[in-house]
């Protein structure tokens, strides 16, 4: 067999289903060809037209990538943190990337979705960056040189709970989100949880004495994306099952001009109402657009007695199961967000294997851009989670599924392709989910995590390459 044949044979049936256009993955994408571009349209035009080609089997058994691309492992759970303070915490999830202000290189702020039974908690003892010493989640900061070698690694927030994803602010900080509604006394917590916290990537003195951004709501947060022109933040709620399911929110800050600490001034939290649409799962056709979107004030953002999704609204709020990743699209002034999957047995009206929605702030419309429609087979592409808009056009999508997990991509024209395959097994037949994808500010490096075993990667290669076999691997 040739090298190409060997590589293709090493992939699971899911790669073949994608390559042949079988029922394992049906992705539809509507809108302008540049609808998913960032503020770098020139780079986008030089990006891939059909993907980056077949995956090459990694002899180390860690990560398969297309030919010409390579990865560097920056950090792994359990290993000593570069700057001291204990082992690298477990459960690497959402992450933001920033440019160093001097000397080149980059900084990362990484979430740790630590549950009470996690092997490696975020250290809190003696650290001023601690919110609740009874909780084990938080964030760590990584400082990289221009050669991508790790220079520093330290705790920037501790004592928070189940830090899932978050988002980058226009002023260069990271918002980390707690995916829980647990109160004082639960799991040994000494404070209520379910908040958003702001983390500074550069000055850890600012991260002392953490303050929850209470007006942004207390609920099962996943991710947040901010409109840099208005300061409005769009937030997803990852309510996994039961009634009622979660919603999609926006936060109107009192200080919209932004800056570190500006969100502490508070604002108004609102929930989504789409006329005629109470459950996002019922929409099955990519390109379906809803107009006349309304936003309803949340009566009690702190959820003192009732979860925000179950409070009394003048109209039905629009709901979705597992609302996960969020990203701001600069070129089209749109907020993208993901519904990872929907199942009637969990409370949804209909079933799907993943949706990507776009809220157009200028037109006040909501459009289903992508939908994953799988089969009953185990080996299908499903469960999109964290996403980012690539500086080369299209989306990069982290998969959080049973079985093998992949990094999926779409070109700016909507062609799907496979970019990476995680080979690290967590249990027999399963590999860890991918999470926290983002590109460096200069576009030359893609950073992301594997959740378990917690691993942070930097990937470099010929991002502007226009070739590649159709749909990433036939």
DSSP states of 85-137: SSBPPS-EEEEEEEE-SSSS-EEEEEEE---TT-SSPPP-TT-TTBS-TT--E
pLDDT at 468 over 90: no
Q: Cα 23 to chain center, whole Å?
A: 26
* First-residue to last-residue Cα distance in the chain: 15
What is the reported pLDDT for 51?
A: 85
What is the reported pLDDT for 467?
A: 55
1 within some domain: no
What is the reported pLDDT for 368?
A: 92
CA within 13 Å, CB half, 130: 16
Length of the chain: 474
What is the reported pLDDT for 414?
A: 67
14 within some domain: no
12 within some domain: no
Coil, strand or helix: which one is 310?
helix
Alpha-carbon span 320 to 337, nearest angstrom: 11
Alpha-carbon span 448 to 446, nearest angstrom: 7
- Interval 1-43: pLDDT, tens: 223 222 222 233 333 333 323 233 444 544 443 444 444 445 5
Alpha-carbon span 196 to 139, nearest angstrom: 12
62 within some domain: yes
How far CA 428 is from CA of 91, 381, 417, 423, in Å, comes to 19, 19, 26, 12
Q: Output the domain CATH number for residue 416.
A: 2.120.10.30
Q: What angle do CA 356, 440, 357 make, to 5 degrees?
A: 10
138 within some domain: yes
The CA-based dihedral angle spanning residues 188, 193, 199, 203, taken in that order and rounded to the nearest 10 degrees: -40
What is the reported pLDDT for 381?
A: 61
- Interval 448-467: pLDDT, tens: 999 999 999 999 999 987 65
**What confidence tier does 387 reach under pLDDT thresholds 50, 70, 90?**
confident
Mean pLDDT score, 89-116: 96
Alpha-carbon span 464 to 45, nearest angstrom: 9
Mean pLDDT, the chain, integer = 86
Min mean pLDDT across 187-196, 204-213, 366-375 is at: 366-375
Residue of 402, 338, 456, 424 whose CA lies nearest to 94: 456
Cβ-contact 321, 314 below 8 angstroms: no
How far CA 308 is from CA of 222, 312, 328, 338, in Å, comes to 14, 9, 24, 20
How far CA 327 is from CA of 52, 167, 365, 369, in Å, comes to 23, 8, 16, 14
Residues in contact with 149: Cβ distance below 8 Å, sequence separation at least 6, in sequence order: none
- Interval 121-138: pLDDT, tens: 999 999 999 999 999 999
Residue of 232, 258, 399 whose CA lies nearest to 325: 399
The domain of 113 spans 33-304+314-346+354-472
Number of domains in the chain: 1
Min mean pLDDT across 43-52, 91-100, 188-197, 369-378 is at: 369-378
Alpha-carbon span 159 to 187, nearest angstrom: 12
Alpha-carbon span 225 to 466, nearest angstrom: 30
337, containing H or E segment = strand 334-339
11 within some domain: no
Backbone angles phi, psi at 161, to 5 degrees: -130, 130
The CA-based dihedral angle spanning residues 327, 331, 333, 337, taken in that order and rounded to the nearest 10 degrees: -20
- What is the model's pTM? 0.90
425 within some domain: yes
9 within some domain: no
């Amino acid at each position: 067999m040739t090298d190409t044949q060997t590589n293709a044979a090493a992939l699971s049936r899911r790669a073949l289903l994608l390559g042949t256009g079988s029922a394992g993955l049906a992705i539809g994408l509507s809108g302008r060809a540049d609808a998913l571009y960032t503020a770098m349209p020139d780079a986008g035009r030089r990006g891939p037209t059909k993907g980056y080609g077949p995956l090459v089997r990694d002899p180390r058994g860690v990560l398969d990538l297309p030919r010409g691309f390579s990865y560097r492992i920056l950090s792994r759970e359990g290993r000593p943190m570069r700057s001291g303070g204990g082992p690298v915490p477990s459960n690497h999830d959402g992450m933001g990337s920033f440019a160093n202000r001097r000397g080149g290189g980059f900084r990362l702020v990484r979430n740790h979705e630590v549950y009470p039974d996690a092997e490696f908690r975020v250290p809190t003892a003696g650290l001023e960056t601690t919110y609740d010493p009874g909780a084990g989640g938080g964030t760590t900061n990584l400082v990289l040189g221009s050669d991508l070698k790790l220079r520093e690694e330290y705790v920037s927030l501790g004592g928070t709970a189940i830090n899932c994803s978050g988002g980058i602010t226009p002023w260069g900080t990271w918002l980390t989100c707690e995916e829980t509604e647990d109160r004082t006394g639960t799991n040994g917590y000494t404070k209520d949880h379910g908040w958003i916290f702001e983390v500074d990537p550069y000055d850890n003195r600012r991260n002392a004495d953490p303050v929850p951004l209470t007006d942004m709501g207390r609920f099962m947060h996943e991710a947040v994306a901010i409109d840099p022109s208005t300061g409005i933040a769009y937030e997803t709620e990852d309510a996994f099952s039961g009634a009622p399911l979660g919603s999609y929110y926006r936060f109107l800050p009192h200080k919209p001009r932004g800056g570190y600490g500006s969100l502490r001034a508070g604002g108004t939290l609102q929930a989504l109402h789409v006329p005629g649409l109470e459950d996002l799962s019922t929409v099955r056709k990519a390109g379906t657009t809803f107009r006349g979107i309304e936003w309803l004030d949340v009566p009690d953002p702190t959820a003192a007695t009732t979860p925000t999704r179950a409070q009394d609204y003048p109209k039905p709020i629009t709901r979705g199961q597992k609302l996960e990743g969020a990203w701001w699209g600069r070129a089209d002034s749109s907020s993208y967000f993901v519904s990872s999957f929907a199942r009637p047995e969990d409370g949804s009206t209909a079933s799907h294997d993943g949706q990507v929605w776009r809220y157009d702030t200028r037109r006040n419309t909501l459009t289903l851009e992508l939908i994953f429609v799988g089969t009953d087979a185990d080996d299908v592409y499903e469960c999109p989670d964290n996403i980012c808009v690539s500086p080369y056009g299209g989306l990069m999508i982290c998969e959080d599924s049973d079985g093998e997990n992949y990094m999926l991509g779409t070109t700016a024209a909507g062609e799907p392709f496979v970019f990476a395959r995680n080979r690290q097994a967590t249990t027999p037949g399963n590999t860890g989910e991918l999470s926290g994808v983002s590109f460096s500010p200069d576009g030359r490096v893609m950073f992301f995590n594997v959740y378990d075993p917690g691993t942070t990667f930097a990937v470099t290669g010929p991002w502007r390459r226009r070739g590649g076999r159709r749909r990433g691997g036939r």
